[in-house]
Amino acid sequence: TTAAPWWTSAVVYQVYPRSFADSNGDGIGDLRGIASKLDHLERLGVDVIWLSPVYASPQDDAGYDISDYQAIDPSFGTLEDFDALLADVHARGMKLVMDLVVNHTSDEHPWFIESRSSVDSPKRDWYWWRPARPHMEAGAPGAEPTNWGSFFSGPAWDLDELTGEYYLHLFSRKQPDLNWENPQVRAAIYSMMRWWLDRGVDGFRMDVINFISKDVRADGSLPDGIVHDGALYGDGQPHYGCGPRIHEYLQEMNREVFAGRESAPLTVGEMPGVTVEEAVLFTDPARAEVDMVFQFEHVGLDHGANKFDVHPLRLTDLKASFGRWQAGLAESGWNSLYWDNHDQPRIVSRFGDDGEHRELSATMLATVLHLHRGTPYIYQGEELGMTNAHFESIDSYRDIETLNYFAEAIAHGHATQDDLLESLRVMSRDNARTPVQWDDGPHAGFTTGQPWIAVNPNSSEINAAAQHDDPGSVFHFYRRLIELRHTEPAVALGDFTMLMADDEAVYAFVRRLAGTELLVVGNFTDREQLVVLPAAEIWADAELVLGNYPDAGSVDIARPWEARVFRRL
Ligand code: ISL
Ligand code: CA
C-alpha cells in the first residue's frame, strides 16, 4: 500500500476575506488584513487556508461573480498583496487553496460581454443562449426556454433585449452559466488554473462543480423540471446536477491541470445534491477526479420545502446520514467534514445552544465532527464559538439570496414579514458573514471604519483576544482537536463504527486503527444522558484524551453538551 495522502491528516480553515480583517479602514476585509492575522491561524495549528474568492468582481454575489480570473479585486488588494500573503503562508508551513468559480462568470466578464454582443460572436457559444419557447414571444410570461428557477429567486433565464435571446443563470442574473460543452471554454479555464498553480497556490475548492455538465438534448434544447408542490418554478437540478459529462470534464481537468505536479494540490468539489454513490466515483483516487467533495445531506436535515422552512433536527437523522457517508467512502474515496461555511448558519446556534451552554455545545459539536474519518474544515469564527447574527430588520442583511427571497416571499404573500424575518434569523447566509470578532474594542477590532455588515454585539464577550489567553476557551479546544489529528493516526485513518444509532440524545462512535481504539461520545442535549455501550467494561480504564469538562466524569453518563474522547490500546 502507498502512504496516505497528506490531506488525510490535515485541517483546512476557510477565510471569507470580506469579513475576516480590514487593513485600511474601508470596512471591507482584505488580503493585508488576512496577512496580519496569520499568527492566529498558526497558533490554531491549521494546515491549509481556503480563501473564498478575491478575484476581480462586481460583488453581486460577494465575489462568486468573477469578471477577471487573473486579477485581484481592488477592494481586497493587489496581486503583489496576494503574492506576499502566499509567501508568508508558505513560510509558516501552511498551504493556500483558492476558490474556483467556473460554473459561471460575472456578466461583466469580457467573455460574456463579447458573447452577448451578437448571435454571431465567436464567443456566443461560451454561454447558454436560447430562444424563447416554441410558439411563444420572447419576454412573455412563461416563455423562458425551460421552467427552471434560479437559486436566488426568479427564473434561471434572463432575456437579453439586444439579440432577443435568453441566457441561463442558475444563480443571479449577473452570474451567467458557462457552456462547458465548448472545448474552448474548458481550455481557457484550465490555462487559468495552471497560471495560479504556477504562481504557487496549493489547490482549489471548486464552486458548484457538479453543475457544469447540463443535460442538453441533441437538438440543443434543455428539459423542463418538475414543479414541486407550492413551488413557483421547475426543479432543474436533475438536469444539471452531476450531469452526463461531469466525470469526463473532471478527468480532463485533472490531466490538463494537475497531473505531474510535484506537490499534489488539494482539490475539493462543492457538490450540492451529490449522493454517496456518486461521491465514491468522484473521489476514488484511481479515477483521478477530485480528492474529496462537500456534500449537503447533513446541512439539509433541518430544511423543509426550502431552506427557509426550518425544522428541528432529529439526531437520529444526523447519525444515519453521517453513518452512511462514513460507510460509503470507507473503502475508496474520502470525506470532507464541515458544519459551517459562508453559506450556512453558525453551528452553535443551529445544532447547539448559543446562550448558556455556548462553549460546551460548540466544543461538543467540534469534537463529534473532527473525530469522524475525513478532512475537517473550520469556517472563520467557528473556532471562537461565534453565533448567528440575530438581525432584527431586513435592512441589516446584505446577501443577495436573502434579500431576493424576502422580496419574492413578500410579493407572493407567502408569509408575514415577522415570520420571514424569523426564518432569516435562523437560516440566512449573513449569519456566517458578520465580521470576525478579534477583540472587545470598537467593531470587534475588525476595522477602524464602518464595517460593510454589522458586527455581532456579543463581540464584547466572544472574541479572539479573550480566548487566546484562556486555556479553557473554544479556541484552545479547537487547537487541541487539530493537534490530536496530527498526533494520533487513528483520528485520520481509523475505521468508523457508529454506536447508539437509535438514541436521540447521544452521538457515539468508535475509530479503530491497528491496536488503537478511540471512543467518541457527544451529548446533544442540556440534560444528563445515559451512555449505553456494547461491552462498556472495556472502556473502564481507558485514557481520556480530550473532554470539554474540567474533570473526567464517568464513561456511562454524559453531562449536558459533554464531549469526550477515550483511547485504549
Ligand atoms: O446557500 C445556498 C443556497 O441555499 C446553497 O445552495 C449555495 O447556493 C450552493 O451551495 C452553492 O454555493 C456556492 O455557489 C454560489 C455562491 O453564492 C455560494 O456562496 C457558493 O458557496 C454561486 O457561486
Ligand atoms: Ca479593506
Whether residue 16 sits in one domain with residue 93: yes
> What are the pLDDT digits (tens) for 197-216?
999 999 999 999 999 999 99
2 pLDDT band, cuts 50/70/90, is: low
Q: What is the CATH number of the domain that holds 164?
A: 3.90.400.10
Instruction: Determine the distance separating the centroid of ligand 2 and the alpha carbon of 89, expressed in angstroms.
Output: 20
Tell me the mean pLDDT in the region 366-377.
98
Query: If you take atom 23 of ligand 1, which residue's CA is the nearest one?
Result: 64
Q: What is the DSSP letter of 53?
A: P
Which atom of ligand 1 is found nearest the CA of 400? 17
Structural domain includes residue 189: yes
Q: What is the CATH number of the domain that holds 530?
A: 2.60.40.1180
Q: What is the CATH number of the domain that holds 306?
A: 3.20.20.80
Whether residue 145 sits in one domain with residue 290: no
Q: How many CB atoms lie within 10 A of CB 256?
A: 15
Structural domain includes residue 534: yes
What secondary structure does DSSP assign to 85-151, as a single string? Answer: HHHHHHHTT-EEEEEE--SB--TTSHHHHHHHH-TT-TTGGGB-EEPPSTTS-TTSTT-SSS-BBPT
Query: Which residues are CB-contacts of 183 (< 8 A; sequence separation ≥ 6)?
Result: none
State yes or no: pLDDT of 252 exceeds 60: yes
Whether residue 472 sits in one domain with residue 536: no
State yes or no: pLDDT of 374 exceeds 70: yes
Q: Which range is least confidently modeled, 55-59, 155-159, 536-540?
A: 536-540
> What are the pLDDT digits (tens) for 24-35?
999 999 999 999
Whether residue 137 sits in one domain with residue 159: yes
Whether residue 298 sits in one domain with residue 245: yes
Tell me the mean pLDDT in the region 485-511.
98
State yes or no: pLDDT of 461 exceeds 80: yes
Whether residue 367 sits in one domain with residue 219: yes
C-alpha cell at 202: 496549493
- Residue 162: what residue type? L
Whether residue 462 sits in one domain with residue 361: yes
Structural domain includes residue 485: no
Whether residue 334 sits in one domain with residue 266: yes
pTM beyond 0.95 = yes
Identify which has the larger pLDDT, 1 or 290.
290
Structural domain includes residue 161: yes
Whether residue 382 sits in one domain with residue 340: yes
CA–CA separation, 361 and 137 (whole Å) = 56
Q: Which domain holds residue 159?
A: 110-168
Structural domain includes residue 539: yes
Structural domain includes residue 483: no
Whether residue 422 sits in one domain with residue 514: no
Q: How many CB atoms lie within 10 A of CB 108?
A: 16
Backbone angles phi, psi at 371, to 5 degrees: -90, 0
230 pLDDT band, cuts 50/70/90, is: confident
**ipTM score of the complex?**
0.97
Instruction: Determine the distance separating the centroid of ligand 1 and the alpha carbon of 468, expressed in angstroms.
Output: 32
- Residues within 6 Å of ligand 1 by CB: 61, 64, 101, 151, 171, 207-208, 270, 272, 307, 342-343, 401, 429
> What are the pLDDT digits (tens) for 130-141?
999 999 999 999
Which atom of ligand 1 is found nearest the CA of 401? 3
Instruction: Determine the distance separating the centroid of ligand 2 and the alpha carbon of 76, expressed in angstroms.
Output: 6
Q: How far is CA 423 from the centre of its chain?
A: 20
Query: If you take atom 11 of ligand 1, which residue's CA is the nearest one?
Result: 208
Answer for the pair 310, 423: CB distance below 8 angstroms, yes or no: yes
Q: Which residues are catalytic?
A: 207, 270
State yes or no: pLDDT of 1 exceeds 60: no
Whether residue 500 sits in one domain with residue 406: no
Per DSSP bridges, beta strands 266-270 and 557-558 are unpaired
Counting the structural domains of the chain, the total is 4
> What are the pLDDT digits (tens) for 301-355?
999 989 999 999 999 999 999 999 999 999 999 999 999 999 999 999 999 999 9
263 pLDDT band, cuts 50/70/90, is: confident
Structural domain includes residue 1: no
3 pLDDT band, cuts 50/70/90, is: confident
Whether residue 316 sits in one domain with residue 213: yes
HSE toward the beta carbon, residue 456, CA cutoff 13 A: 27
Q: Which of 52, 64, 427 should be mutated for ligand 1, with most atoms under 8 A from CB?
A: 64
CA–CA separation, 441 and 227 (whole Å) = 50
pLDDT at 491: 98
Instruction: Determine the distance separating the centroid of ligand 2 and the alpha carbon of 199, expressed in angstroms.
Output: 24
pLDDT at 270: 99
Closest alpha carbon to 425 in 444, 406, 445: 406
Structural domain includes residue 175: no
Please, what is the average pLDDT of the chain? 97
